[in-house]
Amino acid sequence: MTHEELRETLETLCERYNNADFIADDPIGIPHRYSRQEDIEISGFLSATIAWGNRKAIVRSCGRMMEHLDHAPFDFVVGASERELAHLASYVHRTFNGGDLMAFVLSLRQIAARYGSLGGWFQTAWRQSGDMRRVLSMFRREFFDLEHPARAEKHLSSIDKGAACKRLNMFLRWMVRRDDRGVDFGLWRDIPMSALYLPLDVHSGNTGRELGLLTRRQNDWKAVEEITEALRSFDPTDPVRYDFALFGVGINKG
């Protein structure tokens, strides 16, 4: 397949999957329930955090998580009482349990207190570094700066350990990307879309290899850099928009 033929294939797939019909059965549908930016950020981050496994099960678990947060995620994060926080103990999604959720809420509370919001933190970090790889590393250190159970750390991947950081990159795609298709939110205007990295998972990885966009066998950070660089040759200003093409065709094969 020539470069131009591959471009046409990607564009066709992107057109098919980058639309509002995709939202209902995807975790991104959870932040679409909210209109306030801070609620979109918190619900998006927490939904992305547990986004592994069956998508319909993920969406159900995300819905239950929002119930635990009284369907007001930002207000809960910044103002929940000790009693309300204790209520989170009953939550569970696979290996992400109530203790993990409480730790995440408290870390988000600290970030909100310091920077006003998640968007405030990420945009400040971007302006300081200008390198999304550094931002990912800085965020994990900031997030776990507060005392927390060690087990919670496994739910936030470490780029410093070579992880693909799929869920963080997916969350960043949601918050940064903007177009007229009604899927991503495009809230964080200080961060350019060109700075994003592909949220690489088994589906997009397999599709990328079939199309010749990825040669590395392991889905790690080196693979993320390789496939994102390949996608930049088709759209240097918004390479991650092809995530819809790679993930959509991959998930439908499964």
Assessment of whether the complete model's pTM goes beyond 0.85: yes
DSSP 71: T
pLDDT tens by residue, 166-205: 999 999 999 999 999 999 999 999 999 999 999 999 999 9
> Nearest 5°: CA angle at 67, between 145 and 83?
60
pLDDT tens by residue, 233-243: 999 999 999 99
pLDDT at 250: 55
In the predicted model, is pLDDT for residue 254 greater than 70?
no
CA separation (Å) from 99 to 43, 66, 76, 124, 152?
Answer: 18, 16, 16, 29, 8
pLDDT at 22: 79
- Average of per-residue pLDDT across 26-34: 96
What residues make up the domain containing 186? 3-253
Instruction: Please report, as a single letter, which amino acid is at residue 151.
Output: R
Instruction: Round to whole Å and give the CA distance between 190 and 132.
Output: 12
93 beta partners = 96
Higher pLDDT, 75 or 52: 75
Instruction: Round to whole Å and give the CA distance between 167 and 157.
Output: 8
H helices of 211-242, in order, are 221-232
In the chain, how many domains are there?
1
In the predicted model, is pLDDT for residue 217 greater than 60?
yes
In the predicted model, is pLDDT for residue 248 greater than 80?
no
pLDDT band at 252 (very low <50, low <70, confident <90, very high): low
pLDDT at 80: 98
